[in-house]
Amino acid sequence: MKSFRPAIHGWLLLLPAAAFLALFTHYPAVATFWHSFFSTPKGNRPARFVGLMQYETMLDDPIFWIALGNNLVFAAATIPLSIVLAIVMALWVNEKIAGRGLLRLAYFTPTMLPMIAVANIWLFFYTPDYGLLDQIRGLFGLPAWNWLGSRDTALMCLIVVTVWKEAGFFMIFYLAALQQIPPDLGEAASIEGAGRWYFFRRVTFPLLMPTTLFVLINAVINAFRLVDHVVVMTRGGPDNTTSLLLFYIYEVGFKFWDIGYAASLTMVLLAVLGLVACLQFFYLDRRIHYQ
Amino acid sequence: MSARVGRWLNTVAAWMLGILWLLPLLYAVWTAFHPAEFSTRFAPLAPLTLENFEAAWAAAPFARYFLNSFLLVTAILAGQLVLCTLAAFAFARFRFPGREIAFVLVLVQLMIMPDVLIVENYATMRRFGLIDTVAGMALPYVASAFGIFLLRQAFKTVPKELEEAARVEGCGTLGILWRVYVPLARPVYIAYALVSVSYHWNNFLWPLIVTNSVETRPLTVGLSVFASTDQGIDWSIITAATLLASGPLLVAFLIFQRQFVQSFLRAGIR
């Protein structure tokens, strides 16, 4: 009798959280999978089983491929850029540099702003003709440029905003990791005559590896999860050049109300996130352990 | 000699990046505090004004949006604290069949967040009749894998002797949790609370989908509605509204900088 009590208490304690998790994470994930095999109910026509039809539609849908491609470009650009910048920032504010406190603040502040506010401010920045960017161009006698309205620059503009917002956030994790590295390592290296770059490449960077892994996972998730700036700044335009996967799901699900198709699109997103999770658990976690 | 030059170059580069990083915010502050004709002209002696803030405040129900955001953040945090505490305690100190699997199932939410399950969660909310309510916005987030994980780590470091002492004093399971574990995990609670509040104060897509009236919209959604439809392109007023919306968190951050940064670190490094 006595041995059952902890088990019952354990489950009772877990129950409320488990119920909510099941309802809003596990059930919707499974339901997405299930509904991706059904048509979208319309009026008095209920959803019917259509097999892989939604997926076939998806493969033939040019906008899906554009959104997926954009998202990959977006991830491939924002992730390395923000990580490299974060490391550089952390190295700087870890040294005895003039105005260090203020500098840390400057780098970190964008993190505390809502993406929606950030997007508004940058929208103003990018405004053709009298936004700050075009005013600077004007000083050099260059003509106005519609940054967000042209296919060549729109996605790049969103990438810049994202890097600006994320780098400072990642910086603090690197800063904490740098402060864990014993200073005598650096002293020993400089006695041996090792240059700064050599020291960074052979000592600091490998020691930062666990932090890089943590930051990398976060950056990948953010690249597929955060579309607030797309909603405010471009709405996916011009010509879908800034549509990201989750934004396209949002459009299909809540503008066109095509629930079945949105479900199959969501499956792609879930597959991407699942892949990241597997990579973390089975591959990276095992390779990167120095301590 | 060359070391000093290198150091100097380093400082200059660091500050150039710093200024670049502050520029958008400074630009917004400039525009918001000056009359519209100076919004893109940088005269150092341009007159300061609060009119843009007054105009923004009058043009949209920001007071209501503030209240909604406040209610939303409070509801989510309250729910998270209760649910995550209980679940974390179960994982940290109880042996029960299925514990390992249950923990892995909880961790799934770290990757697959409610943020990406918008279509199905919307259908669920409609079934419950919770569209356009604070509850509808809050419920998907109240059970947080992140919070459970964080608190479990904290609870695991509590010495078992303390628990046994409390048991001898006649405390039950919940009594021990409340009197021993919760007080000892206080720094983790503060860290988690700050991270949660800043996340949900800034959250946008799900509230945008679930709400459709002034009575429930949080600030972020209110701001986007305001900026996209009501104002055309009066940038002075839009930036004023933008600063209003980010103000509370930004001011709190500037005052409690150290706590915020510590919290993000504590939450990040597991």
A193 is written with which tokens?
């005559």
List alpha helices for A181-283, DSSP H. Answer: 183-191, 196-199, 205-207, 209-225, 228-229, 245-254, 259-278
Interface contact B120-A35, CB threshold 8 A: yes
- Does residue B61 surpass a pLDDT of 60? yes
Helices (H) and strands (E) counted in chain A, each on its own, are 16, 0
Q: Are residues B41 and B170 in the same domain?
A: no
Give the separation between CA A76 and CA A156, rounded to whole angstroms: 12
For residue B230, pLDDT over 60 is answered with: no
Q: Give me the pLDDT at residue B167, please.
A: 87
pLDDT score of A134: 78
- Closest by CA to A161, choosing from A89, A241, A52, A77, is A77
Q: Are residues B202 and A9, on separate chains, in Cβ contact within 8 Å?
A: no
pLDDT at A264 over 90: yes
Q: Which residues contact B240 (CB under 8 A, 6 or more apart)?
A: B32, B52, B53, B55, B56
Nearest to A97 among B14, B90, B94 (CB): B14
The answer as to whether B199 is a domain residue is: yes
Q: How far apart are CA B211 and CA A148, in angstroms?
A: 28
Contact: B10, A92; criterion CB under 8 Å = yes
Point out which residues pair with A38 in neighbouring strands: A49
Map out the domains of chain A with their CATH numbers.
57-287 (1.10.3720.10)
- 3-state SS, B110-142, equals HHCCHHHCHHHHHHHHHHCCCCCCHHHHHHHHH
Judgement on whether residues B118 and B246 belong to the same structural domain of the protein: yes
List of residues 6+ apart from A204 with CB closer than 8 A: A91, A178, A181
Q: Which residues of B touch A7 (CB under 8 A)?
A: 94-97
- Cβ proximity of A204 and A27 under 8 Å: no
pLDDT tens digits, B9-18: 888 899 999 9
**Cα gap B18→A99, rounded to integer Å:** 11
Distance CA A50, CA A40 (A): 10
Residues B162, B246 within the same domain: yes
Q: Do A227 and B205 touch (CB under 8 A)?
A: yes
The CA distance from B31 to the nearest CA of chain A, in Å, is: 10
Same domain, B98 and B44: no
B254 shares its domain with B163: yes
Q: Please write the tens of the pLDDT for every residue from B92-142.
A: 989 888 899 999 899 888 888 888 999 999 999 999 999 999 999 999 999
* pLDDT score for B233: 64
Q: Are residues B67 and B181 in the same domain?
A: yes
* B237 and B136 belong to one structural domain: yes
CB contact under 8 A, B28 and A121: yes
The CATH number of residue B103's host domain is: 1.10.3720.10
Asked if A13 and B89 touch (Cβ cutoff 8 Å), the reply is yes
The answer to whether residues B91 and B169 belong to one domain is yes
User: Which of B99, B209, B242 faces A254 most closely, judged by CB atoms?
Assistant: B209
Integer-rounded Cα radius of gyration of chain B:
24
- Position B78 pLDDT exceeds 60: yes
- Chain B residues near residue A244 by CB distance under 8 angstroms: none
* Count of structural domains, chain B: 2
At residue A163, does pLDDT exceed 70?
yes
Q: Which residue of chain A is at minimal alpha-carbon distance from B92?
A: A10
Domain that holds residue B40: 2-49
Instruction: Identify which has the larger pLDDT, B33 or B83.
Output: B83
Indicate whether B20 and B87 sit together in one domain.
Answer: no
Please give the residue of chain B at the shortest CA–CA distance from A16: B83
If asked whether residues B36 and B106 sit together in one domain, one would say no
First to last CA, chain A: 44
Cβ B7 vs Cβ A91: under 8 Å: no
CA-CA distances (angstroms) from residue A100 to A97, B24, B256?
A: 5, 20, 17
A207-238 pLDDT, tens digit each: 888 888 888 888 998 999 989 999 988 888 78
A76-126 residue pLDDT tens: 999 999 999 999 999 998 888 888 888 988 898 888 888 888 888 888 888
- Give the residue from B89, B119, B167 with the most A CB atoms within 10 Å of its CB, the best one to mutate: B119
Q: Taking CB atoms and an 8 Å limit, are A124 and B27 in contact across chains? A: yes
Please list the residues that pair with A42 across neighbouring strands. Answer: A45
